Structures are given as C-alpha cells and as structure tokens.
Amino acid sequence: MTLKLPVYLDNNATTPMDPAVLEEMLPYFSEKFGNAASRTHSYGWEAEEAVDIARENIASVIGAHPQEIVFTSGATEAANLAIKGVWENNPDQKGHIITVVSEHKAVLDTCKYIERKGGSVTYLEIQPNGLVDLNDLEKAITAQTLLIAVMYANNETGVIQPIKAISAIAKAHGVIFFTDATQAVGKIPVDVQEDDIDLLAFSAHKLYGPKGVGALYVRKKNPTVTLTAQIEGGGHERNMRSGTLNVPGVVAFGKACEICGEKMASESLRLRSLRDHFEKQLLALQHIDINAVTAPRLPHATNISFHDIDGEKMIFEAGSDIAFSRSSACTSATLEPSYVLKAMGLSNELIHNTFRFSFGRFSTEQQVDHAVAVISKIVKEHRG
Ligand SMILES: *Cc1c(COP(=O)(O)O)cnc(C)c1O
C-alpha cells in the first residue's frame, strides 16, 4: 500500500472526521434542513428528533443526563460560558477562581478576563511531571472561592490530572468544579457522576466530528449549577445559550460520540501500543526525553525532547513526511516556547527541540514506522 504523505500525527490539534459521521450529517444540510426550534411542522420535528438522539449519545459518553448538555460552537465557547457564567452569577462579582498554569488558552484567557472585571484568580504551578499538587490546591481555597477549573488531560503532554481527587477537594469546600475535558472525552473513560464533575467542556472536532460544535455539561442535581448566559436571544438550550442549533453539527457530534463509546476500549489499546512502539524506537536514538513519562498520560499521545539537534531544521526537513506539532507557538514574529513545558521546568532551548506526536483512529503501523525512520535519519544527521 502506498503511503499518503505527510503522515498525520497531530490528532490532538484536530481529528479527521470519521466517514460514518460525515454520512450521518449530510442529509441535515439538504432535505432535512429544518430548524429544531420550529414546533409547527414536520421539518422542525424531524430536526428536533435528530437533535434529541444526538443529545442522548453525547450525554451518554460522559455519563450525563441529556438535559445537562448545552450545545456551543466548541470547547472555547463552553469554557467561556462555564467560567464567566459562574462568576457573573455570583451577586457581588468578587469571587475567587482557582486554575492551573498549564490550562488551555480557552481557560487561561477567560480567567484573565475575570481579573480585568475585578475578580481574583490563583494560577497553580505544576510539578515537573505535569501534575497539580493537591496540597497546593487545597491551600489556595478561600471563603471567596467560587470555582476550581482544572483540565482533564493536557493537549500538549497528554498528562491526565487526578480529577476525582480534585473534585473531592472542591466538594469538601462547597466549590463548583469545572474541567476542560476536550482531550479526554471519547478517548478515555470520563464519567461526570463517578468523577463528581459540575461543569465539563468538550468538542466534536477532537473526537472525529466536525469543527464548530461542542458542548458544556451543566450539572442539574447535587448541586444544581446555574450560569449567567453569555449570548442573548431566543432562550435556546434552557436559556443558557441562545441561537438556532447547528443541526448538522449536532447530529455529527452525536454520531461521533456514539462511535467513540463503542470503540474506546479497543482503540485506546491499539493506539497505546502504537505510541509505545514509537517511543521505544526513538528512545534507541538516545539523548531523548519523553516528557511527563511518570504521570498518567493519554494513550495516544507523546511529547518528546530531542537533545543535540536543531529543532527548526527538523521541522523543515521532516515536514513533507510527517505532520506533527512543535511545542512552541508562533505569536507574531517570535517563537514563544510552550508555557506548559516551561512550567514543567524545561529550558527554552530544549523546548525548541520538543515535539508532540498524537495518533488517532486512522493512524497505522506503517505510518508510525515511516515517521520513526524519517526522524531517526534526521536526528542522526544533526548529531553528525
Ligand atoms: C482544542 C482544545 C480546546 C478548544 O476547543 P475548540 O472546540 O477548538 O474551541 C480547548 N481545550 C483543549 C484542552 C483543547 O485541546
């Protein structure tokens, strides 16, 4: 079989759509075009029924009730709604929020907004293995603390935080617990009851669905979480997010969650073995660090630092063979080293030689072997 190049190893950035998901959504662009809020004719009923089924499948993948799912444009909007919604719902608008330095920008930048509005935010540091220190968390809680926001799994390193222990601390202090689970849902078991989560953000395009649709889980009982809406309009989504539903997107999100629910167990085993094989081959090159290797990690992702190479050149040389991601982000003209890896204690120099490889449903052994061969050749050349 000929290999299509470059091999896609950036599934944490976005996943390709599953063909079954695309097939499911297509009719909702054409013959089944109804508005799910139209109550007076069959076009509306047909769309509403499809949304109901999708809502059940989406709720089911996180152990929620369908009425606890609020559709959004993605995880960024869901995180905004969770954090601003909780904070604005507290009458004196003075509340305190606790989050972590390694969160996604969707959470960090929303917390910055809260600070500009007069709120206070504690940004917890992380340990060298990427994990939050539970003692630090507990110590940061004050009488004003409204919300704890800690991501389920990190997009750069794959580190899985001790979510159950974190929610237990939040509960013990009567604090609402929000988790950005965008990288975890559909990949590893996530259960809002088991983990005692109050608010959870996730997104279709990270689990083989389309871009532009996501959801916020909002706990209905024990406790009932109430949010201030961030978009005014027709009162859709139980007054929490107005706007006509993206019916094709929601249908696709539902199908994507259904498939993830069916395949998660076998898929995570297969991807873990691909990932472990990949790491093992690269470790043979020596002077390589697998970051956060002592922490619980997502099975399909790895973050690797290569000593004694030129990271810039490696991206350039490998680019036509492998699509992967560098742990630095280009902001305007400068290359910003990853704040996540910085917080884990890596030097700027090493961060420039650090890369993320994330596998997915359509990754094959042949692709992984090709990536290993290309990287090995480049590393050996750089080291002369
Ligand atoms: C991708 C991602 C987001 C943003 O999701 P969108 O749906 O693209 O807005 C937020 N958090 C994490 C951890 C992510 O990986």
* pLDDT score, position 330: 58
Beta-carbon contacts of residue 346 (< 8 Å; ≥ 6 apart): 291, 305, 354
Whether residue 378 contacts residue 309, with contact meaning beta carbons closer than 8 Å, is answered with yes
Do 310 and 188 lie in a common domain? Answer: no
Ligand 1 pocket: which of 72, 73, 76 to mutate (most atoms within 8 A of CB) = 76
Q: Considering only CA atoms, which residue is closest to atom 9 of ligand 1? A: 76
Do 269 and 289 lie in a common domain? Answer: yes
Residue 99 has pLDDT above 70, yes or no: yes
Do 286 and 235 lie in a common domain? Answer: no
Mean pLDDT of the 173-183 span = 98
Do 52 and 92 lie in a common domain? Answer: yes
Residue 93 has pLDDT above 80, yes or no: no
Torsion sign (Cα): 214, 220, 221, 226: positive
Both ends of the chain: CA-CA distance in Å? 33
Each residue's pLDDT tens digit, 306-322: 999 999 999 999 999 99
Do 37 and 132 lie in a common domain? Answer: yes
pTM higher than the cut 0.85: yes
Question: Which CATH number covers residue 148?
Answer: 3.40.640.10
Beta-carbon contacts of residue 9 (< 8 Å; ≥ 6 apart): 322, 323, 324, 357, 358, 359, 363, 367, 368, 371
Among residues 111, 257, 260, 330, the one annotated as catalytic is 330
Question: Which CATH number covers residue 319?
Answer: 3.90.1150.10
The verdict on whether 330 is a catalytic residue reads yes
Dig out the tokens for 80 from the structure: 């905004």
Q: Considering only CA atoms, which residue is closest to atom 3 of ligand 1? A: 75
d(CA 92, CA 95): 8
* pLDDT score, position 335: 75
Residue 332 has pLDDT above 90, yes or no: no
Q: How many domains are contained in the chain? A: 2
Ligand 1 atom with the smallest distance to the CA of 181 is 13
Confidence of residue 331 (pLDDT cuts 50, 70, 90): low
Each residue's pLDDT tens digit, 204-243: 999 999 999 999 999 999 999 999 999 999 999 999 999 9
* pLDDT score, position 291: 98
Confidence of residue 336 (pLDDT cuts 50, 70, 90): confident
Whether residue 116 contacts residue 143, with contact meaning beta carbons closer than 8 Å, is answered with no
**Is residue 1 assigned to a domain?**
no
For residue 359, what are the domain limits?
Answer: 7-16+264-383
> How far away, in angstroms, is 153 Cα from ligand 1 center?
11
Confidence of residue 92 (pLDDT cuts 50, 70, 90): confident
Do 76 and 205 lie in a common domain? Answer: yes
